[in-house]
Structure 1
Amino acid sequence: MPSLGRLHLITDTRPGRDPLAVLRAALPVARAELVVQVRVEDAATDREAYDLARRVVALCAPYGATCLVNDRLHVALAVGADGGHVGADDLPVGAARRVLGTGAVLGATAREPVAAAAAVAAGASYLGVGPCHPTSTKTGLPDPIGPAGVRAVAEAVPVPVIAIGGVTAGSVSALRAAGAYGVAVVGALSGAADPGRATAVLLGALTC
């Protein structure tokens, strides 16, 4: 199974955003510490998801960065990604593990210890935990759980916990202190004037 980097970049495919340009800036800085989660809007076709994921896999390969596909596990298999990530409304973790096989990275979303432990028992390699803070990059999310919520999950499971939701370089220290192995970001990189520099700042916060 590929090693798991501490900085997860979730592709931002909203209008006006260029996820591949952000990725090209981040990869030379983060290299194998970067995990790219290919996430597309619900309205996107499988072909659109496939085309983006195929390009992301090709960009990640020279740097040893891990590429996962969110939700659409058939696309992950089709492009030869390292694995996938499933949310609460996607395939159950156990079913997702059967689809991807034992050697793939499989992330699952959780926000409290009982569900987190169940996801790990079903085969999750790591957990995306949040939202930690308010965020505008995804609608319909539950209330933020803060560092205390991250700590509750991290203390309940033996796998890496990746904090997500409104994460900034300034909030990384508290999340790491709460037990987060790493963080997942969207706007912190896709909205940055210099995504390469923003990547370096986030990595610095993760490793200090």
Structure 2
Amino acid sequence: MARAFDLTLYLVTDPRLVAARGLVATVAAAVKGGATLVQLRDPEAHGRALVEQARALKALLKPLGIPLIVNDRVDVAVAADADGVHLGQDDMAPADARALLGPDRILGLSVGTPAEFAASDLAGVDYLGVGPVTATGTKADAGAAIGTAGLAAVRALTRLPIVGIGGIDRALAADVIRAGADGVAVVSAICAAPDPEDAARALKAAVTAAR
């Protein structure tokens, strides 16, 4: 059984947006503001550099009880003793990832449409990332925007926890929750904010109010 996690405010890092402030400093500020889960996503980093980033974030987050998820890379997650992995549709099959991760780590999977959901292997998956809700510039291979109606359509198909992702900001957060998401995943809304702590606090308040 996977360790406990809270999808309320899910921060996904972007190396371009956190460069000036620094990865650890940005995440620390976001967590102080209320981020409940952190995903390390850095397609520009490979091997050792990615493991070092993951270990630095793990050292920050573990004492706070906040899980660290690594995007795509099961090997990096295991090497850095991260709390889990998030997979895209073109990544390792969830069943294979679960076999490598063991029963205790968190496993997430991206799903964009009901058809994609139906075609997905959900063996061992703990939550779904559903989107992109709106157009996003932080992920080059993101699919077409599905809107809150598309998110609601996926919600109707599963009892797994889901987090909405893709172009979500404070103004849209409440609509995403009302469409059935358990939380919101954000990138630029926190990473590009002048004050990540204040941005996280405002987003979490919007989610809480919508519930």
TM-score (norm 1): 0.93
Deviations 1:181-206 (A, max 9, x none): 01111100011011100010011011
Partner secondary structure for residue 24 of structure 2 = helix
Corresponding residue SS for 2:15: coil
In 2, the alpha carbon distance for the partners of 1:121 and 1:54 equals 28
**Unaligned 5+ residue runs, structure 2?**
none
Does the alignment pair 1:21 with 2:25? Answer: yes
Q: Deviations over 1:94-130 (max 9, x none)?
A: 1111111111110000012243355463221000011
**Residues 1:200 and 2:204 are matched in the alignment:** no
Number of residue-to-residue matches in the alignment: 205
Indicate the RMSD between aligned Cα atoms, in angstroms.
1.5
The corresponding residue for 1:148 is: 149
Does the Cα contact within 8 Å between 2:57 and 2:68 map onto a contact in 1? yes
Q: How does 1:59-138 map to 2 (within 5 A)?
A: 59-116=60-117, 119=120, 121-138=122-139
Identify the structure with bigger relative contact order (alpha carbons < 8 Å, sequence gap 6+).
2
Which amino acid in 2 is paired with 1:9?
L
For residues 198 and 57 of structure 1, what CA distance do their matches in structure 2 show? 22
Amino acid at match of 2:38: V
Report what 2:9 is aligned to. Answer: 7
Distance across 1 between alignment mates of 2:180 and 2:37: 19
Secondary structure in 2 aligned to 1:132?
coil
Deviation at 1:139, TM superposition (A): 1.1
Find the aligned partners of 1:44 and 1:23 in 2 and give their Cα distance: 17
Distance 1:85 1:99 in 2: 14
Answer yes or no: is the 8 Å Cα contact 1:28–1:63 preserved in 2.
no
CA deviations 1:38-95 (Å, max 9, x no partner) are 1112x42211110100001111012111101111111101111111111012101111
Contact conserved, 1:120 with 1:159, CA < 8 A, in 2?
Answer: no
Q: Following superposition of structure 1 onto structure 2, how do residues 179-198 of structure 1 map, counting pairs within 5 Å? A: 179-198=180-199
* TM-score, normalised via structure 2 length: 0.92
Q: Percent identity?
A: 39
User: Partners of 1:183 and 1:129 in 2: how far apart?
Assistant: 10
State the distance in 1 between where 2:45 and 2:83 align: 21
Unaligned runs of 5+ in 1: none
Partner of 1:177: 178
CA distance in 2, matches of 1:95, 1:85: 13
- CA distance 1:118–1:58, change in 2 (3 Å): farther
